[in-house]
Structure 1
């Protein structure tokens, strides 16, 4: 039964970023609760928790709300350190690799997938993504670029092939870094998984020249974890209402904009989905910012964001 300390993941099945977190949960063998959310706006049962942040996934523990996969992965490792997935040699490097897999490689995946799906993409989905990105979601243009994007995608897959081949001399070669799977593997897994869900024939074609990457990917898919408990968005809001944010001493640390605890600010992604979330600073460091806010439905909550990939500005 879901409680105030349960891990709650707000996600949908085909979300590639959600699969990254689901994989981490399997690797850590953690129990969790699943809240299925729409893949487009409106998201009326999520907005009270996030203050307007609309991207997927979002993790909730009680009245603490964690936005962006980078923040979620960091918190999972901090609050549930065993078994460890940020392994020796992964520190810092996992974030660098995650920036590539979530950025350049993912955008290449998007062009290939939606260029292939073409007219099968619902108009409401296209409109939602146009509103989120601020630019046209043109599947015909993606289809025209797809042959070149496929070359680009396979070239990036071959970086993984080279890494696995190079790791053999150090007694590795089965995993991206080291003798067992870790956070780097979690980041790298996302784009092949996204391809398999949508254009599996293309993925198999790429794997023909990357057999070590294929073997690694198949072993990653075999990782098992706990089956989540399904709860509703209403139940998740009720859990937030009945909990209090985890107690943390207010502080700011080396703020270049000279923010101070309690200051009213707004936070938004720096790429797309720029919906500004307002609140009072609880903590601001080079790694994260935590906002305290009150919502009529969710009541008192703390919302956690990473600093990389997010903008912060004063309000008022």
Structure 2
């Protein structure tokens, strides 16, 4: 039964970013509990944990809340180093691949997928994504550019094929970096997985020119992990309320803005969904910022954000 020691993943099944975390949990064979959150607002039991951050996935361990896949994957690797996915000799590479996969490749995925299925998307979802992004969710526009975006999507897929072919020629080729899967594979897998779920005929057509990538995708898809326990969002809030955040050094290191522990600051993504989360600064360094928040629902919690891709300001 889930408690303060349990890995709790707040997600919904169709989320491509949540699939990064699910794959990581399978590769590490970690037991966890899942909370199925709504794909659109309102999210009444998530916001008390995050302080306003609404994007999925969110990871919870007791009263520590991790927002964004970058900090989630980093924390899972630190807490559970076996089996290692941060492969020796490739430090920093996974984050660079993540920037590519989450950026231009993801945007081409969005155009292809919603150009294909956009007419069937509920109006409530469209309005939610317009509020999240701050711009129109233009289905007609995505349909118009979908043929060109299919070209772009396939071109990016073929970069994986080129990498796997090079690795195979060097005696490897099972995964993008070597004989074992790592975070580079996790990040690159996301768009392929999403396209295979949403527009499988197009994904399979692309695979015809990318047999090594098809085999790589199948190897990752077939990784078996532990079946998660399902709990309610209310149970997750109760677990946070009855736990205490993990002890962390109250410190800042070489802060460009001169932040000090105890200051009241606000954090938000630098791209979309800029819902500023306010709290007392506990810790900040080049890769992480931690805020302490107190709420009636969850009592005292620590909310963790990655530094890259997030803005920090004095509140």
TM over 0.5: yes
**Structure 1: runs of 5 or more not aligned:** none
Verify: 1:205 aligned to 2:205, yes or no: yes
Verify: 1:74 aligned to 2:68, yes or no: no
Matches for 1:184-203 after TM superposition, within 5 Å:
184-203=184-203
Secondary structure in 2 matching 1:53: coil
Measured on the aligned residues, the alpha-carbon RMSD in Å equals 0.6
Tell me, yes or no, if the aligned pair for 1:29 and 1:226 is still in contact at 8 Å: yes
Q: Give 2:296's aligned residue.
A: 296
Q: Give 1:311's aligned residue.
A: 311
| Per-residue CA distance 1:19-50 (angstroms, 9 max, x = gap) | 11000000000000000000000000100000
Q: Give 2:223's aligned residue.
A: 223
The structure 1 segments of at least 4 consecutive aligned residues displaced by more than 2 Å after TM superposition are none
Matches for 1:147-296 after TM superposition, within 5 Å:
147-296=147-296
Report the Cα offset of residue 170 of structure 1.
2.3
Tell me, yes or no, if the aligned pair for 1:90 and 1:184 is still in contact at 8 Å: no
Tell me, yes or no, if the aligned pair for 1:114 and 1:139 is still in contact at 8 Å: yes
Q: Give 2:44's aligned residue.
A: 44
Q: Normalized against structure 2, the TM-score is what?
A: 0.99
Q: Give 1:33's aligned residue.
A: 33
Q: Give 2:139's aligned residue.
A: 139
CA distance in 2, matches of 1:50, 1:118: 30
| Per-residue CA distance 1:232-277 (angstroms, 9 max, x = gap) | 0010000001100001110000100000001100000000000000
State how many pairs are aligned. 315
Q: Normalized against structure 1, the TM-score is what?
A: 0.99
**Structure 2: runs of 5 or more not aligned:** none
Tell me, yes or no, if the aligned pair for 1:11 and 1:37 is still in contact at 8 Å: yes
| Per-residue CA distance 1:287-310 (angstroms, 9 max, x = gap) | 000000101101100000001110
Report the Cα offset of residue 207 of structure 1.
0.7
CA distance in 2, matches of 1:122, 1:307: 34
Report the Cα offset of residue 174 of structure 1.
1.2
Secondary structure in 2 matching 1:66: strand
Secondary structure in 2 matching 1:74: helix
CA distance in 2, matches of 1:19, 1:279: 29
